[in-house]
């Protein structure tokens, strides 16, 4: 049985600076209506957390802790405001009775897909190349005047992973009139994909037939480096790779070689080592757009993340199903 809402004790293990970005006044008021809420001063957990609190809220700024810190007589739920929960909570805590939810991950799907689409369009229309030259030379003829680019409707779009972000991206490109959208995802059936306007194919065919390959898959044992040198080599000359998901899905060394050679173009928000090293070969390439892992970072999404966490706690206290509970069955498939 869960604790009645009036007696609920909630600990928010997030720094004040990050809390201000995630929890607006209305969400804080909702949380306060559920019971006693304690906000951490530095993101750390109190020593008596597991025996003194019912619910734990975490995020990017939560301090690292040992699994035993969340196993005790009282704590029954931990809800994560950021992306993956696996960095903080090992599978073992589920086996010991703690329930987990990724309450903040769903609101980030739209902004991540938006940036993926933005990178797609910018690369197709060569915006970055023209802007860099026009800013540097102030010469229209040297900055792309008369140089033709590509429209998105005529492109064959490939999506690796029909995750929440992959589905949002599919909706966005089909909404822009793209007629050919294919995807690879071993966990999605053809009927589900068809409802999204997407045709399922195997990964090799997807790479060989895509003008734009957008990565929206989580990193698991099965997906790590699934876009290896062979798969990257199957991409058409001039193809575009967009990755706003996880760097480890693709062999970045193999991709970098193709980008340096100029055979492929890319829009990348994630990298094997972050921050990206100052001597990375990706800097200064005309065919590459890079952003510093900011795809999910919109003001609107951040506040929606806090609201989503609160929704999960309300459902838990009402003994109703949570929307984004992390069970043992899906734990290993999460990014």
Q: Are 105 and 125 in contact (CB under 8 A)?
A: no
- 3-state SS record for the chain: CCCCHHHEEEEECCCHHHHHHHCCHHHHHHHHCCEEEEECCCCCCCCCHHHHCCEEEECCCCCCCCHHHHCCCCCCEEEECCCCCCCCCCCHHHHCCCEEECCCCHHHHHHHHHHHHHHHHHHHHCHHHHHHHHHHHCCCHHHCCCCCCCCCCCCEEEEECCCHHHHHHHHHHHHCCCCEEEEECCCCCHHHHHHCCCEECCHHHHHHHCCEEEECCCCCCCCCCCECHHHHHHCCCCCEEEECCCHHHECHHHHHHHHHHCCCEEEECCCCCCCCCCCCCCCCCCCEEECCCCCCCCHHHHHHHHHHHHHHHHHHHCCCCCCCEECHHHHCCCC
- Closest by CA position to 69, among listed 43, 51, 95, 57: 51
d(CA 202, CA 183): 8
The set of catalytic residues is 246, 274, 293
d(CA 32, CA 314): 12
């Amino acid at each position: 049985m869960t604790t009645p809402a009036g007696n609920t004790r909630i600990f928010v293990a997030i720094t004040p600076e990050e809390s201000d970005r995630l929890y607006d006044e209305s969400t804080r008021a909702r949380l306060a209506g559920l019971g006693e809420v304690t906000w951490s001063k530095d993101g750390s957990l109190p020593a008596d957390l597991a025996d003194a609190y019912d619910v734990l809220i975490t995020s990017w700024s939560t301090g690292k802790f040992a699994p035993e810190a969340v196993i005790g007589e009282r704590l029954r739920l931990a809800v994560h405001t950021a992306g993956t929960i696996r960095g903080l909570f090992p599978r073992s805590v589920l086996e010991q009775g703690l329930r987990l939810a990724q309450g903040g991950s769903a609101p980030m799907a739209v902004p991540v897909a938006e940036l993926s689409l933005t990178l797609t369009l910018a690369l197709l229309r060569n915006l970055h190349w023209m802007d860099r030259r026009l800013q540097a030379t102030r010469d229209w003829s040297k900055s792309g005047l008369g140089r033709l680019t590509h429209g998105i409707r005529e492109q064959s779009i490939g999506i690796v992973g029909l995750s929440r972000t992959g589905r949002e991206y599919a909706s966005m490109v089909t909404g822009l009139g793209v007629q050919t959208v294919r995807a690879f995802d071993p966990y999605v059936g053809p009927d589900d994909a068809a409802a999204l306007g997407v045709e399922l194919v195997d990964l090799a065919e997807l790479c060989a037939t895509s003008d734009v390959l957008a990565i929206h898959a989580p990193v698991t044992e099965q997906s790590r480096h699934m876009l290896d040198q062979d798969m990257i080599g199957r991409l058409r000359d001039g193809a575009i790779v967009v990755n706003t998901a996880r760097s480890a899905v693709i062999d970045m060394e193999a991709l970098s070689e193709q980008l340096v050679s100029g055979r492929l173009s890319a829009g990348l928000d994630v990298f094997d080592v972050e921050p990206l090293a100052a001597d990375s070969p990706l800097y200064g390439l005309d065919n590459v757009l890079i952003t510093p892992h900011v795809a999910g970072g919109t003001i609107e999404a951040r506040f929606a993340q806090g609201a989503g966490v609160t929704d999960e706690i309300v459902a838990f206290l009402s003994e109703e199903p949570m929307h984004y509970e992390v069970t043992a069955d899906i734990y290993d498939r999460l990014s």
